Structure 1
Amino acid sequence: MQDPNEYLVQALKAKRRARGWSLEQTAQETGVSKAMLGQIERGESSPTLATLWKIATGFDVALSEFTDPLIAGAGGELRQAERLRHQPTQDLMLVASLFPYDAAFGFELFELTLPPGYERNSEPHAKGVTEHVIVIRGQMEVLIDGQWQRMREGDAVRFVADRAHGYRNLTQSPAVFHNLIHYPQQRK
């Protein structure tokens, strides 16, 4: 598996060049400083998950386009969360990209692990994005419309993710969940 930071560096440079964007224009589009973008591109800094989401939103692409290469073909490849699980940013949350975004399907599917005491508040995603959260192990809470909803193993919720939302684990054990993020239209 390619190092996540190396993949991020290559993906960011490629997307920026494909758009013909300077670092300054990329900063304007993403809300991430030119200095931080330069550090990421040089491999000098690992962004937070919030910063990575800002970059993806600014490019109007799925998060996994900066964390994992597209899977070739429509199926047949066995994907094992245990082998894919890594820490793609400086956040403590573990991520396994079970199915990176593919325009043919319109979604990406992650297995996410929240360590004990972890809280992540997410800024709104692009208009029309929805998330589907299914708790696989442990307990967690999801922030939807300003209210924290407690979820246990086997619970599932779907919500509009173009509003502020969040995830937290107030327990002493890791919480593991699947997060299917659906995008309403083909990405750029």
Structure 2
Amino acid sequence: MQDQATTPERGRQRDILNGAQVLSGQLGKTIQRLRKAYNLSLSELAEQSGVAKSIISQIERNETNPTLATIWRLSQALDVSIERVLATSDEEPFIEKTSRADTPILLSDDGKIRLAIVGWIKTVEWLQWYEVTADPGGVLDSDPHQRGSVESLTVTEGALEVEVAGTFQRARVGETLRYRCDRPHTVRCVGTEPAKAIMVVIMKAAVME
């Protein structure tokens, strides 16, 4: 979401990347090539990135699958975008797995709504999705997304209410709310029971142009 999940840009990347993992046979070669292009030794890159020299060495030899948080730190030290570091052949098959313990969690200001970031970092600029868990009375206030963006909220347990520009609508189990999220919007857990939902954010949705 645009709130904690997407602003500021660097904060969003750090939150999303924390704990997730990437599987890429080209990752080690890319890190090594960029490091040598900057004439950096393993020790120098370790000092600049805060990643242990031994870990960088293992990454370059493709002996480990580093967390995306580690890759983010390396990309910052090498002054390149994380997309460039993660670039692989479109035809390369892969299977990616992230455990629940490693899934980043965002909290609402009141601490009663939790968003597990289950979306893929490579789609974050145009598609984001979350697993929402809410305690009774929980409120999640969100800033506007990019113009034309749409949010979809499918309730799997309990009941949730969405407010957009003074308009309110509730959804219960099996129901879905879709709404413009390019303006301030709020999600509330209504009733006396906890609620769960799947939230999908489509950035710059063509249907709203």
Residue of structure 1 equivalent to 2:103:
84
Residue of structure 1 equivalent to 2:44:
none
Cα offset, 1:54, TM superposition: 7.2
Residue of structure 1 equivalent to 2:140:
120
Please give the residue correspondences for 1:116-155 in structure 2 after superposition, counting only pairs within 5 Å: 116-155=136-175
Residue of structure 2 equivalent to 1:109:
129
Please say which structure displays the higher CA radius of gyration. Answer: 2
Aligned: 1:68 with 2:9? no
> Could you tell me which amino acid in structure 1 is paired with residue 152 of structure 2?
H
> Could you tell me which amino acid in structure 2 is paired with residue 113 of structure 1?
T
Taking a change above 3 Å as real, the CA distance of residues 112 and 82 of structure 1, as seen in their structure-2 partners, is farther
* Percent identity of equivalent pairs: 21
Taking a change above 3 Å as real, the CA distance of residues 161 and 100 of structure 1, as seen in their structure-2 partners, is same
Cα offset, 1:53, TM superposition: 5.5
Q: Which of 179, 183, 198 pairs up with 1:178?
A: 198
Cα offset, 1:133, TM superposition: 0.8
Taking a change above 3 Å as real, the CA distance of residues 141 and 160 of structure 1, as seen in their structure-2 partners, is same
> Could you tell me which amino acid in structure 1 is paired with residue 7 of structure 2?
I
* Structure 1 contact 96–111 (Cα < 8 Å) conserved: yes
Residues in 2 aligned to 1:105 and 1:181: alpha-carbon distance in whole angstroms: 10
TM-score, with structure 1 as normaliser: 0.57
Residues in 2 aligned to 1:104 and 1:66: alpha-carbon distance in whole angstroms: 12
Unmatched tracts of structure 2, length 5 or more: 24-92
Unmatched tracts of structure 1, length 5 or more: 1-48
Taking a change above 3 Å as real, the CA distance of residues 91 and 82 of structure 1, as seen in their structure-2 partners, is farther
Aligned: 1:94 with 2:114? yes
